[in-house]
């Protein structure tokens, strides 16, 4: 079974973050993603669905 999971949608607080703030946020996701992988979750694909906003 394949389940599509979207971790978040762009909202005003994200848009208000600086480039450094966005990088820090993304870096903080690493341990959470590792926990999911350790639990057996398999990443099939990672993509950006909106290229207007850059990390």
Position 51 confidence tier, pLDDT thresholds 50, 70, 90: low
CA distance 44 to 3: 10
CB 47 within 8 A of CB 55: no
pLDDT mean over 21-49? 85
Question: Across all residues in the chain, what is the average pLDDT?
Answer: 80
Report which of residues 26 and 3 the model is more confident about. Answer: 26
More confident residue, 12 or 1: 12
Is residue 10 within 8 A of residue 53, CB to CB? The reply is yes
Does position 46 have pLDDT exceeding 80, yes or no?
A: no
**Does pTM top 0.75 for this prediction?**
no
């Amino acid at each position: 079974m394949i389940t599509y999971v979207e971790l978040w949608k762009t909202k005003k607080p994200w848009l208000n973050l600086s480039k450094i703030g966005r990088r820090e946020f993304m870096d903080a996701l690493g341990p959470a993603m590792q926990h999911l992988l350790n639990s057996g979750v398999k990443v099939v694909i990672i993509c950006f669905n909106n290229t207007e906003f850059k990390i």
